[in-house]
Structure 1
Amino acid sequence: MLRNLLALTLVFALTTATDVKQCSGNKPFPLAVRVLNCETPPCDVIKGRDMTFEIDFYVTKYVTKLTTLVKATSLGVTVPYDLPSDVKDVCSNLMHEAYCPLYDTEDVTYLFVFPIGNYPEVSVKVEIYLVDQDNEVATCFVCSIKVKKAPSANSTVYEIDF
């Protein structure tokens, strides 16, 4: 009984959505976003490592291509955040055997592995857009993060991977 309760608690913890915010301009909002090890932003991220998102969303038209665009805002300055082409290609990173093209009202989950560069330790507002072949926003959300340095060599870090 205790084992089942523990397993259920772990599954719930891994599937709980992260409290992300809607983008300005009434852009489509995802069905849910899960950030590994973060329910309530700002999410702590280690510079030089990856931040993992699962983004559940649906499309409102026939979509043949989706690209991830990221804007980062810190200290009042907003800049585009360049991503490697294999990371920004949404279609090749869909989960649960989903693939493009996507059809009107189809819902899917995108695994976005966001590389965090070796940036200063600051708070950053990250806007994540999924843009289709017509350059229209399929979904958009904002997540606040706090870039931190890696723990010292004497520290032990445990990470749950889902």
Structure 2
Amino acid sequence: MQVQTFILISLGLLSLAGAQQKHPATEVKRCSGNKPFPLEVRVHGCVTPPCQIVKGSTQDFEIDFAVDKYITKLTTLVKATTLGIITVPYELPADVAAVCPNLQYGAYCPLYDTEDVSYLFSFPIGEYPEIGVKIEIYLVDQDGETATCFVCDIKVVKGNGGNSVNQLDNLN
């Protein structure tokens, strides 16, 4: 009877570990100005940029970062640079820009000094031309200070009969 119990517990732990499995890390770059860099970034469906992002879809980014002060509010800001010279802010809906409601694994705001957290950023990709874009993603706190920042090169591509993020995820 003890062997059966051991096997059932082992299988349960293995299935739980599988449910927590993360996507592979994506190679991202530092922002200019010595801003805090994330611990890890995972762009679903992409390990080596430029990441192919389907226009008209939503692309998930998991951002693991550490905070170095007490934070009550975080907001996502995105800047997009095309042709290497034109940089514009990428406007996000308020519910998408809000970081605290999208923290993962039981984390919530306020965040305390030295806390490590994971944030799921669901980035809406508009119906833009099919071009390469350098995006800078900033998480900015209640004082306007950058909690973390990174740069990722993407290539906006046309969908294939309604491709979605889930279909992209299945490629890896």
Q: TM-score range by the shorter chain?
A: 0.7 to 0.9
| Alignment match, 1:126 | 135
Pick the structure with greater CA Rg: 2
Q: Deviations over 1:50-96 (max 9, x none)?
A: 11100000100000000000000002200000001001000010000
| Alignment match, 1:25 | 33
| Alignment match, 1:49 | 57
- Say whether the 8 Å CA contact 2:100–2:109 is kept in structure 1: yes
- Please state if 1:142 is matched with 2:137: no
Please, what TM-score do these two structures have when normalized by structure 2?
0.82
Query: Deviation at 1:152?
Result: 4.4
Structure number with the higher helix fraction is 2
Structure 1 gap segments, 5+ residues each:
1-6
| Alignment match, 1:70 | 78
Distance 1:46 1:58, change over 3 A: same
Show the 5 A alignment for 1:39-118: 39-75=47-83, 76-118=85-127
Please, what TM-score do these two structures have when normalized by structure 1?
0.87
RMSD: 2.1
Structure 2 gap segments, 5+ residues each:
1-14
Structure 1 runs, 4 residues or longer, greater than 2 Å off: 157-161
Query: CA separation in 1, counterparts of 2:168 and 2:78?
Result: 25
Task: Give 3-state SS (helix, strand or coil) of 1:63's partner.
Answer: coil
Query: CA separation in 2, counterparts of 1:71 and 1:39?
Result: 21
Query: CA separation in 2, counterparts of 1:37 and 1:128?
Result: 18
Q: Deviations over 1:88-128 (max 9, x none)?
A: 00001000011000000100000000000000000000000
Query: CA separation in 2, counterparts of 1:142 and 1:96?
Result: 25
Distance 1:123 1:94, change over 3 A: same
Identical-residue share of aligned pairs (%): 64
Paired positions, count? 150
Query: Deviation at 1:47?
Result: 0.5
Query: CA separation in 1, counterparts of 2:161 and 2:111?
Result: 45
